């Protein structure tokens, strides 16, 4: 996993080349809504890109993480099917429904059943390199998603070009990112992370939670401002030294929401063992998102390293799949 995280920049560069060479059309006639269907490491890219294009996209975009598609899906839907392995059973089910509903489909996968269905039904299709843990291949899927939405006119073309600038930032900050990540990991060892962000980058905290779950093999939770002010805040009523708050910040955070955090921070400090703030670097929203994603990935790896466990291993998921295959 260490090598895979270290190669994130190279992966983004390779993904950029794959996207440039892809044959995805610019046709978007009649599209009235967008659904990105995918789960886990394959699906998180959709969650991230939906926030990246929210200020530009002129049609609704829904992220689907289930066997079934929303009832509104029809021939006016752009359905983006994202499955790294191509064999995610929930995503296969959703794609089959999309085919029956005559949705306009684009597939992003390394092969498997999704690839077979794409070729059989002549849907648009981008093939990415396979053979790695899906969560380590976010760069491949995210860049393809950005490219598809740019080509179809639902994201600014500049967003695709921002990928190159983001790579340069991550390369320049590589040592700094790893140093900070290691220090934070030491503070999180044997602690439960409570991860907060503002509504502008909740997807980044979802990714971080998933990485701690899979790489670090431990539980945590996340929430976002201002929503947490209307429910979770009430739960901060007693001291718990097992909790550490980690908050993600970008330069795009809304001022009023930042004031909410400033009011809540002393409450967190009173009831947990530490409050850690991670401030994104970079000029564009994409740069800042990828910076936070990269430091989060490193934190999850360093926690696993401190615990002396294998960050790649996911035996419990393998067990789940084995049991499901019996039905």
pLDDT per residue as tens digits for the range 117-167 = 999 999 999 999 988 888 888 999 999 999 999 999 999 999 999 999 999
Q: Which of 97, 100, 105, 110 is nearest to 81 (CA)?
A: 105
317 pLDDT higher than 90: no
Instruction: Say whether both 291 and 226 belong to one domain.
Output: yes
With respect to residue 216, please indicate whether it lies within any of the assigned structural domains. Answer: yes
The pair of three-digit structure tokens given for residue 4, joined into one six-digit string: 């895979």
Give yes or no: 214 in active site: yes
Are 211 and 136 within one domain? no
Its pTM stands at 0.94
Residue 315 — pLDDT band, cuts 50, 70, 90? Answer: confident
**What is the domain count for the chain?**
2
pLDDT tens track for 75-119: 999 999 999 999 999 999 999 999 999 999 999 999 999 999 999
179 has which bridge partners?
Answer: none
What does DSSP assign to residue 209? Answer: H
Peptide bond into 226 cis (omega under 30): yes
134 and 183, same domain (yes or no) = no
- Residues for the chain: how many in total? 327
285 and 232 within one domain: yes
Q: How many CB atoms lie within 10 A of CB 314?
A: 19
Confidence (pLDDT) at 323: 85
HEC sequence for 102-143 = CCEEEEEECCHHHHHHHHHCCCEEEECCCCCCHHHHHHHHHH
The stretch 172-190 carries a mean pLDDT of 95
Q: Are 124 and 206 found together in one domain?
A: no
In a domain, 37, yes or no: yes
pLDDT in tens, 225-235: 999 999 999 99
Contact 284, 165 (CB under 8 A): yes
Residues in CB range of 297: below 8 A, 6 or more apart = 5, 8, 211, 215
Instruction: Tell me what pLDDT residue 155 has.
Output: 95
| pLDDT over 90 (residue 246) | yes
Q: How far apart are CA 95 and CA 79, in angstroms?
A: 8
| pLDDT at position 237 | 95
Question: Do 154 and 195 sit in the same domain of this protein?
Answer: no
Q: Where does residue 217 fall: left (phi above 0), alpha (psi -120 to 50 degrees), or beta otherwise?
A: left
Position 11 scores a pLDDT of 92
Is 146 in contact with 160 (CB distance < 8 Å)? yes
Contact 107, 87 (CB under 8 A): no
101 has catalytic annotation: no
* CATH number of residue 296's parent domain: 3.40.50.10490
- Regarding whether 244 and 162 lie in a shared domain, the answer is no
Q: What is the mean pLDDT of residues 196-204?
A: 93
Q: Given this model, what pLDDT does residue 137 score?
A: 86
In the listed set 166, 196, 218, which residue is the last one of a domain according to the structure? 166
How confident is the model over 292-308, as a mean pLDDT? Answer: 96
- Return the pLDDT at 321: 84
264 in a structural domain:
yes
Active site residue 182: no
pLDDT tens-digit series, residues 33-47? 999 999 998 889 999
- Average model confidence (pLDDT) across the chain: 94
Bridge partners of 35?
Answer: 62, 79
| Choice between 280 and 133, residue whose per-residue pLDDT is larger | 280
Catalytic residue among 113, 214, 249, 287: 214
Least Cα distance to 136 among 180, 183, 84 occurs for: 84
Residue 94 maps to a domain: yes
- 254 within domain boundaries: yes
Q: Which of 102, 239, 258, 321 does the annotation list as catalytic?
A: 321
Counting residues of the chain whose pLDDT is more than 90, the rounded percentage is 86
Per annotation, catalytic residue among 21, 230, 315, 326? 230
Helices (H), the chain: 2-6, 8-21, 40-52, 89-100, 112-120, 138-151, 157-172, 174-188, 202-214, 255-271, 285-307, 315-324
Write the burial class of residue 256 (CB in 10 Å: 0-12 exposed, 13-18 middle, 19+ buried).
exposed
Q: How far apart are CA 136 and CA 107, in angstroms?
A: 19
Using CA atoms, how far residue 83 sits from 4, 38, 92, 196, 210, in Å, is 19, 6, 9, 28, 16
Output the pLDDT for position 21. Answer: 93
State mean pLDDT over 254-275.
97
Domain shared by 17 and 41, yes or no: yes
Output DSSP code: residue 154.
S
Question: Residues 139, 178: one domain?
Answer: no
**CA separation for the pair 319, 1 (Å, rounded):** 21
- Quote the domain boundaries for residue 289: 174-307
């Amino acid at each position: 996993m260490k090598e895979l995280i270290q190669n994130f920049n190279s992966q983004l560069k390779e993904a950029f080349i794959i996207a440039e060479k892809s044959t995805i059309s610019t046709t978007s006639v009649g599209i009235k809504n967008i659904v990105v269907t995918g789960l886990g490491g394959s699906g998180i890219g959709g969650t991230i890109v939906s926030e990246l294009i929210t200020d530009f996209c002129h049609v609704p975009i829904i992220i689907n993480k289930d066997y079934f598609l929303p009832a509104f899906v029809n021939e006016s839907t752009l359905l983006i099917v994202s499955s790294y392995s191509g064999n995610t059973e929930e995503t296969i089910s959703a794609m089959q429904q999309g085919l029956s509903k005559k949705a306009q489909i684009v597939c992003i996968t390394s092969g498997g059943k999704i690839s077979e269905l794409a070729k059989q039904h002549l849907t648009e299709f981008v093939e990415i390199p396979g053979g790695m843990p899906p969560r380590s291949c976010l760069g491949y899927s995210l860049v393809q998603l950005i490219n598809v939405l740019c080509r179809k006119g639902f994201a600014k073309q500049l967003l695709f070009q921002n990928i190159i600038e983001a790579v340069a930032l991550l390369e320049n900050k590589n040592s700094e990112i790893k140093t900070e990540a290691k220090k934070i990991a030491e503070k999180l060892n044997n602690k439960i992370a409570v991860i907060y962000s503002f509504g502008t980058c909740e997807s980044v905290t979802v990714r971080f939670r998933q990485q701690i779950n899979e790489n670090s093999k431990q539980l945590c939770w996340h929430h976002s401002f201002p929503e947490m002010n209307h429910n979770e805040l009430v739960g901060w009523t007693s001291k718990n030294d097992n909790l550490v708050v980690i908050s993600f910040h970008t330069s795009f955070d809304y001022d009023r929401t930042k004031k909410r955090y400033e009011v809540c921070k002393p409450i967190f400090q009173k009831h947990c063992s530490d409050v850690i703030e991670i401030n994104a670097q970079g000029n564009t929203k994409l740069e800042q998102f990828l910076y936070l994603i990269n430091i989060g990935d490193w934190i999850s790896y360093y926690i696993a390293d401190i615990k002396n466990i294998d960050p790649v291993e996911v035996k419990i998921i393998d067990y789940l799949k084995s049991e499901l295959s019996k039905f």
